[in-house]
Structure 1
Amino acid sequence: MGKIYTRKILFVAAAMLLCILIAVLIRIFFSSRTVRMTLTPIEVEVGEPIYYADSTRRANSWLWEFGNGDVSHERNGQYVFKEPGRYQVRLQVDHSLEKKQIITVRKKTNTYGSDQLVKMKAPASAFQGEIVSFKGYGPSKEWRWQFGESGIVDSREQNPLYAYSEPGEYEVLLTTEDTQYPVRHTIKILSQYTENDSTDVLVIIGNDIREHLQAIVDGRPFNTHYNYILKKYLCGNPDIAVTVNNHKKNDFYSYCQGLKIIARKKTVIDEVFVDMGDDLNNECVMQLMVTQHERFSESKK
């Protein structure tokens, strides 16, 4: 009797398990399916790829429509939009199931459109009639230079040459297809001199050196102004003697370091006299005589 009862219990349990299994199978095979579409990213720039994939159960065929006439029958892949806009991407699975997603494609950002990435290199000063070299840097293909003297575009070369006919201060403008605003530079054109007018030449050189020494005092980039004087007038010799107020002597490098550290923003450079030596063919300054005073002495007066 006990054995028969046990068999009945086992039979009922097996029947229940079979019913549960059948119910699960029916649900799996006959329940409605949903499209499991993955599309990323949903915002891109022109030229950047989007990645598409589908994980719909028991799927056998796919039709991706990208909203611009292009299609794909792959389950997974990537696609690149060539024009900006909003596109409705549609996936059809097994010719019956479908899902849609909006993709926003932005205009490609011009990484060189920043004015800081289009630069010019030009001297701060030059002489009247001197051929001046200007250089443009950046990825641009169209260069438009205005040197401030004619009021029109003077050159369309990347690295033009130009000679100013009149002395004065001019604003140089450089524009390209990558700049929203012109790149600007100010150049000072000094009066023309003749080879026989040696006094004027020495005065001009002294005034130019004075301006750059004062720039060091005022905290502007040391290397820029130090190297300008060193290379343009001292022939690269940092040991040139500098006499200050007719009594204190130092080498040029140490003197400039003193302006940078000790005299910073406290000194006014009054005048700079240059000595080119006795050799008439010498192009290097042999000695500097500087007169200067402290700013606080002005306020006391």
Structure 2
Amino acid sequence: MKRFKIFVLFSVIIASFAFWACENEIVPELFPSSEFDFTYSSTSLHYVVGEEIHFLDLSVSGSSWEWNFGDGTTSSEQSPVHKYEEPGTYNVTLTVDGTHKVEKKLMISDIVPVVNYTASDEIIVYNQTQISFEVLLENPENKPVEYSWNFPVGTIGEGVDAEGNSSSESPSVVFGSIGSQIVSLTVTIGGKQLTPVNVNVRVNYNQPAKTLYYAVKEGNIMSKKIIDEIDPELNNPFNSGYRSGKHPLTLQYSGDWLYVFDAGTHFGYVNAPDYLTAGDGEIFVISHDGQRKETILENFGGDTFLDFYYGYIDENTQMIYWADRREGLFRTSTSTRNKKFSLSEFDYFVRNNWLGYYGQGISWGNVNGSFTKYNGQWWWAKNTTGSGIFRFTDGDILGRPKEDGDPVPAGGAIHQSFGIRSFVIDDANQRLYFADSRYKMVISSNLDGSGIKVVDNSPFDGEGGTSEPLFITGMAIDGEYVYWAYRGPQPPEGTDPEEYYQANPLHRSGIKRAKLGEDTPVVEYFIEGVEAYGIAIDKMAK
């Protein structure tokens, strides 16, 4: 009892002193005690504008309450109900008996429509599948609602006009084009227009077709069906929803997976010692239906010269091969997942000085280009400090530094006057197509290097400068065409872009192609207006 009386007396003295010092002004203080508290609730899962928010005083005592809702309004009720008119984060304050103050943050969201759809078929097919849309909308004040839909070209449905517009609450449509169909909905509640909502619906062709995949610069992995029988305007790309990476120089389709080899941010020379920790490359895969993305290897924070510059999948052995910047090739199983790259676990399969070419075309600093295995023989492109395509078998790999007397591989080297970034082999016509970063050309030749023909000599975007220009890094063949990802130059300053491209029709970025087996193939666009790095073709029609 004595201790209790001393505490009360001390509290009274302090309170009296504060009263005297402030000249009768009582300053509320943030009171951490659980004796004073409040909570709030609503009927929805989250708090939206126009909704009744119920505030409940949980204080164990008190005779007066002052609420400040943070939006300029107040209340003196013990447990008031309040509506917010604008979205935002508000500081809500309750002051009990003028002295005990409790403050909490409350986030009020704007009303956002949620769009769902159901389809009459398991796989959505253009000109066939009926798709019904439904909107879930919080409308706490029951204000009048207006709907404004916009569907892609070719969409038909009751209430959908020729421009693809509809004011129906729950439209039912059939898409007349394939690819990623972007459906836009704008809702207006009580005269206030909400933020538009976009929905991506994947619509397939009505029969199997080959697919070209491409990695968009600073964008996503995209794909497009290779179909020449329908209007090109109805053949739209599919968006995988997965980012391409920094410099995805190689794509290859194998089995049911698209393999992406991302060279990371730095694809050229980096000064010492920065290169030792500048790595951020990755090898990852995306399933053919776009439902899964899995990491195989990553080099985050590692040596950037050991990032994953080019790649190749050997389907016979189920092995993944990749090239670093300039030293050699590595390999691992296609079943590898979620691994951190290290030289202790992933050693070289072949190095520059493990071949008889070392000192005779290949040198220590040769920058790598793409590579492949053809008829049991490796074809390995180099493009600076010695260049060309160097051919060798597994038996030609020394597994140690070359010594005097070691033979040059019998396969031989071709095109050593060209700086080859990428190439593909046309087996049916026994032709080689390659992109040369030295003369900035797409060229074809016989497999022995003879019969050189220029396919396209359009200028390139200049990424990488003159020392290590990327030029064209992605090439692919589908049996009828050779495709390449072309990143063209920007129109000169002060020039109207459309006038420039009309005068220079092959300077526009895109995926170009030319028919195989023709003496003077005509270059055309398969996709216009896109900048891409690696490309790949799934030749198994799906």
* TM-score, length basis structure 2: 0.23
Which has the larger helix fraction?
1
> Based on CA coordinates, which of the two structures has the bigger radius of gyration?
1
Higher relative contact order (CA 8 A, sep 6+): 1
Which has the larger strand fraction?
2
